[in-house]
Amino acid sequence: GELHGRACRGETGRLQFRLVGLRGTERWVEMHSTPLREPDGGIHAVLSVTRDITERRRAERRTQEAWQFNKRLIEHSPVAIVTYRPTGEGVSANAASARLLGAPDVAAVVARNFRQLPLWRESGLLAAAEAVLADGRPREQEVRGVSS
């Protein structure tokens, strides 16, 4: 096939494909092919290794389904949810967070760096967040204030 031809031309490659057995059993396999060279650089053979990746593909599909479920759950939650990187940059937010913070939309919430928000600094929330980032232990913090 194409992968073998590429290896014969000196390229290393990888290919994933589905096999269906005589009893209809579906398996996914991954083949790696590489040229085997003579001391003078000429190619004298191709080494191909094929392995069954069916379980890995199933696990990847389950992970993707779980990620999509969680994404939809957060997006449609009535609870305000915002995620940040440790550096303070916003990663994601839901519509409830935009409503709670008085932001025009989710993008405006995500655009905010929590380390630069006066409310976080003045309320002690920034100090609590930094403590959680330092030791990994969750904390509860009640915050009262007006978001800008």
> Which residues are bridge partners to 1 per DSSP?
none
Q: What is the mean pLDDT of residues 38-53?
A: 93
User: Are the CB atoms for 74 and 92 separated by under 8 Å?
Assistant: yes
pLDDT at 141: 81
pLDDT at 147: 65
* pLDDT for 60 beyond 70: yes
pTM of the complete model: 0.61
Residue 53: what are its φ and ψ, rounded to 5°? -115, 20
Q: What's the token pair of residue 120?
A: 């976080």
Q: What's the token pair of residue 35?
A: 């040229």
Strand ranges for 21-133 from DSSP E: 26-37, 43-52, 82-84, 90-93
